[in-house]
Amino acid sequence: MTDKNRRQRGSRTHGGGTHKNRRGAGHRGGRGAAGRSKHEYHNYGPLGKHGFKRPEDSKTDVLEVKAQKLDEDAALYVAEGLAEEDGDAYVIDARDVVDDGYDVDVVKVLGGGQVRRELRVTADAFTAGAVEGIESAGGEATLSERAETASDGSENTSDDETDEA
């Protein structure tokens, strides 16, 4: 038995004053986590401001598709009318073949896996591995008009050009 329990042996109220005290939930300030705001410090994490929230308009929705998937499903895309066949090459617009392609800001083609067919892929962005895989199979990776117009407006001029005066 701990020292405090030993000390309270024989005491009717264990330090709680008269027998009328310590009766209801009001003595404890409510039941459970009631009145959490600087009261009993239950669930204290939600209080106050934390972190940084990016503005919604600065966020970019990126939809990713693997180059290997485009390669594997190329014949299916042609059958569904989503892509064209030009000789041995398949002409694919990545925005056409992915779900919700026109609802997102950027459609990006990722590398990884093997590309066996000659693909001419148009997309908003490519990883270096995707470009390498597509071009190693004899195809080409082309940036879409949407991606080119976005990059034209955000080009930075170097400091050397502006310091001529």
Instruction: Give tens-digit pLDDT for 107-144.
Output: 999 998 899 999 999 999 999 999 999 999 999 999 98
Neighbours of 109 (CB within 10 A): 27
pLDDT of 105 > 50? The answer is yes
Between strands 83-86 and 62-66, the pairing is unpaired
In CATH, 20-51 is 3.40.1390.10: no
Distance separating alpha carbons of residues 61 and 149, to the nearest angstrom = 17
Over residues 26-54, the mean pLDDT reads: 73
pLDDT of 48 > 80? The answer is no
Domain range list for the chain: 20-51, 56-153
| Topology (CATH) of 56-153 | Ribosomal Protein L15; Chain: K; domain 2 (3.100.10)
- Structure tokens, 165: 């005066």
Supply the pLDDT for residue 37. 66
pLDDT band at residue 36 under the 50/70/90 scheme: low
